A and B are shown apart, each in its own frame.
Chain A
Amino acid sequence: EAQVTQNPRYLITVTGKKLTVTCSQNMNHEYMSWYRQDPGLGLRQIYYSMNVEVTDKGDVPEGYKVSRKEKRNFPLILESPSPNQTSLYFCASSSFQGGYEQYFGPGTRLTVT
Chain B
Amino acid sequence: SQQGEEDPQALSIQEGENATMNCSYKTSINNLQWYRQNSGRGLVHLILIRSNEREKHSGRLRVTLDTSKKSSSLLITASRAADTASYFCATTNSGNTPLVFGKGTRLSVIA
Q: Is the interface of B mostly helix, strand, loop or mixed?
A: strand
A90 with B1: CB separation less than 8 A:
no
B42 with A90: CB separation less than 8 A:
yes
Q: Is the interface of A mostly helix, strand, loop or mixed?
A: strand
B98 with A58: CB separation less than 8 A:
yes
A102: which of B43, B96, B102 is its contact (CB, 8 Å)? B43
Residues from chain A with a CB closer than 8 A to the CB of B41 are: 106-107
Interface size class on chain B is 20 to 34
- Which of B98, B103, B104 has the most CB atoms of chain A within a 10 A radius of its CB? B98
Residues from chain B with a CB closer than 8 A to the CB of A27 are: none
- B33 in the interface (beta carbon within 8 A): yes
Residues from chain B with a CB closer than 8 A to the CB of A43 are: 43, 88, 101
- B48 in the interface (beta carbon within 8 A): yes
Docked complex Cα distance between A105 and B50 (Å):
25
Q: Which residue numbers of A lie inside 8 Å of B, CB to CB?
A: 4, 31, 33, 35, 40-43, 45, 48, 50, 58-59, 88, 90, 92, 94, 96, 99-107, 109
